[in-house]
Amino acid sequence: MSRLQKIGGIAAFLNVAVAIAMFATAIVLIGPAAMSDPSKLAQMAVQNPAPLLVQDGLKFISVAISIVLILAIASYLNRDNLTLNSTLLWVATGFGFCSVLCLFCNATLSLYAISQASDPSGAILSLDRVNSIIGLLGLAALVLDGVWFLLISWISLKGRQLPKSLCYLGLGIGVLSLIPPLGIIVLLLGIAWSVWIGRVLLRSEPAG
């Protein structure tokens, strides 16, 4: 087992903890009503920004974990040049990094919006415009991540490098990620996927 593979396995389990924390923050601390209403989010940013700050902090942690996990999976699938289509693997990795970049920008702009919410007159950019961009970045991160899931799972299925059921789960997540309203379902399925891929990466023998 390579060092990167081991670190990737640990990152997968850390990703589970972060995903659960993000889900709990969104449902319990922020609330479904605020999540679906930009005006309520703006009001929360002024009156009680703590939950939003926690969520953005978790996004930054997720970015770091995702980078490690993307690299670890690419390395695992490309071990000994066994991958049937290495070019497709690196294309998939590119989509994964683009998704991570979108999430990073989403969290960064969200922090900016929160900092300016109490005094919008001093904002360099229109907060309405910023909030629109934040939403688009979140959507882009979800869709690009879905493409990564689709490509990685397809490569793994064809190369028989991951358990078939795990590949099918990844394909399902990829398809659902292309339907934004199903984001919560994607998050929950992603938790199961992370646990499974973590176990695979932490095994001393390659998964077949």
- How far apart CA 113 and CA 206 sit, in angstroms, is 45
What is the spatial distance between Cα 99 and Cα 136, in angstroms, rounded to a whole number?
12
Q: Give me the pLDDT at residue 208, please.
A: 43
- What pTM was estimated for this model as a whole? 0.89
Contacts of 152 (CB under 8 A, 6+ apart): 73, 77, 89, 92, 96, 170
- What are the tokens at 11? 């990152």
Burial call 120-138: b when 16+ CB within 10 Å, e when fewer: eeeeeeebeebbeebeebb
pLDDT of residue 68: 97
Model confidence at 122: pLDDT above 60: no
- Cα–Cα distance list, 44 to 54, 115, 141 (Å): 13, 12, 24
Cβ of 146: how many Cβ atoms within 10 Å?
A: 21
Over residues 161-184, the mean pLDDT reads 92
pLDDT of residue 60: 97
173 close to 143: Cβ distance less than 8 angstroms: no
Q: What percentage of the chain exceeds 70 in pLDDT?
A: 89
DSSP 29-61: II-HHHHT-HHHHHHHHHH--HHHHHHHHHHHH
pLDDT digits (tens, 9 = 90+) for 88-102: 899 999 999 999 999
Which tokens in the block code for residue 120? 């919008």
Q: 32-83 pLDDT, tens per residue?
A: 887 777 778 778 888 888 999 999 999 999 999 999 999 999 999 887 555 5
How confident is the model at residue 182, as a pLDDT?
86
What is the average pLDDT score of the chain? 88
